[in-house]
């Protein structure tokens, strides 16, 4: 299992590779480029109807052609975002905190009246669970090494309980998708898993058969919901403000309301970076390897 999480040296090396590989090549006129909006696996991106409606709404509201950019890992999208090859992206709070100086907060989703969510530890419905130590020796499914709910929260909880995250589980692996964590535990490929609570609740509603044999073993405290972020140095000046307005007004248009309904979100509001302070504390705890 890789437990390195987000490393600035590793990240910057990847950025250099991406740029050297020509991924930053665009149209000669920067203002003629489409608005490039990145999506990570925190997003429920396997729904073609949802992606189409999101593209249509943002293209109309921002008065620019829209290019949705998806990648398999959080690191790939973060690399493109911080290096200015994306205008904005829906990322996780973990990379947002790590690269806070390079990123601007655009908007934060509102889910069930809050701009926060929880990380879930899940297992089979008949699983005994009283404390996190009961999972010792499990085969465990994480979502992504740079995911707050799908890795960081569990690793920090293990450190807080005086366990070593890298040796606590008999085996652990990354599924690179929260739905995949649910599938891994439901199929018996893993005995337990770390998953985004919002994604779990949406999947439970839309695909009840998938979660029927599972239960939530542990819920974390409330933490800042995965935000929309943009580079501090805008690739195209003015686009961040335009995108912020479009997101905050999504509930005022039929197409926007359809997107929110598919996402099961209330809307998007301007967020306060302080929402992510709890994630910052977990990053610091994991870095130190002990309870502060």
Q: How far apart are CA 226 and CA 243, in angstroms?
A: 16
Predicted local distance difference test score (pLDDT) of residue 33: 83
Q: Report the chain's mean pLDDT, rounded to a whole number.
A: 88
More confident of the two residues 18 and 41: 41
> Lowest-confidence range among 21-25, 190-194, 234-238, 271-275?
21-25
Same domain, 169 and 249: no
Q: Do the beta carbons of residue 180 and residue 195 sit within 8 Å?
A: no
Domain count, the chain: 2
Domain assignment of residue 198, given as a range: 119-220
Looking at the fold, whether 141 and 86 belong to one and the same domain comes out as no
Tell me: do 214 and 258 sit in the same domain.
no
How far is the C-alpha of 20 from the C-alpha of 18, rounded, in Å?
Answer: 5
In a domain, 243, yes or no: yes
For residue 17, give every residue at least 6 positions away whose Cβ sits within 8 Å of its Cβ, in sequence order, or none. Answer: none
Percent of the chain beyond pLDDT 90?
A: 78
How far apart CA 285 and CA 283 sit, in angstroms, is 5
In this predicted model, what pLDDT tens digit does every residue of 109-158 receive, in sequence order? 999 999 999 999 999 999 999 999 999 999 999 999 999 999 999 999 99
Please tell me whether residues 183 and 123 are part of one structural domain. yes
CATH of the domain at 203: 3.40.190.10
Least confident among 27-31, 200-204, 208-212, 260-264: 27-31
Alpha helices in the chain (DSSP H): 8-20, 48-62, 74-82, 93-98, 153-160, 165-168, 178-187, 197-206, 208-211, 239-248, 254-263, 277-288
pLDDT at 172 over 60: yes
């Amino acid at each position: 299992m890789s437990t390195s999480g987000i490393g600035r040296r590793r990240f910057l090396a990847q950025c250099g590779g991406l740029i050297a590989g020509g991924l930053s090549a665009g149209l000669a006129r920067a203002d003629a480029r489409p608005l490039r909006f990145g999506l990570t696996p925190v997003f429920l991106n396997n729904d073609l109807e949802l992606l189409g409606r999101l593209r249509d709404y943002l293209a109309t509201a921002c008065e620019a052609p829209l290019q949705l950019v998806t990648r398999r890992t959080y690191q790939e999208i973060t690399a493109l975002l911080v290096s200015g090859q994306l205008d904005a992206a829906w990322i996780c709070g973990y990379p947002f905190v790590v690269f806070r100086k390079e990123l601007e907060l655009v908007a934060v989703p509102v889910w069930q009246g809050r701009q926060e969510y929880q990380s879930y530890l899940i297992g089979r419905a008949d699983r005994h669970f009283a404390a996190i130590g009961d999972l010792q020796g499990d085969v465990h499914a994480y979502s992504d090494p740079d995911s707050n709910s799908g890795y960081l929260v569990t690793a920090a909880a293990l450190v807080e309980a005086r366990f070593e995250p890298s040796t606590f589980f008999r085996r652990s692996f990354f599924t690179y998708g929260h739905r995949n964590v649910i599938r891994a535990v439901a199929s018996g490929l893993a005995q337990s898993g770390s998953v985004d609570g919002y994604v779990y609740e949406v999947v439970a509603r839309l695909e009840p058969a998938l979660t029927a044999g599972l239960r939530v073993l542990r819920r974390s405290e409330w933490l800042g919901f995965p935000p929309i972020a943009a580079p501090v140095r805008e690739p195209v000046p003015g686009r961040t403000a335009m995108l912020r307005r479009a997101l905050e007004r999504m509930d005022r248009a039929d197409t926007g309301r359809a997107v929110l309904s598919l996402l099961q979100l209330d809307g998007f509001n301007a967020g306060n970076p302080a929402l992510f302070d709890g994630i910052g504390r977990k990053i610091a705890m994991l870095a130190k390897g002990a309870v502060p």
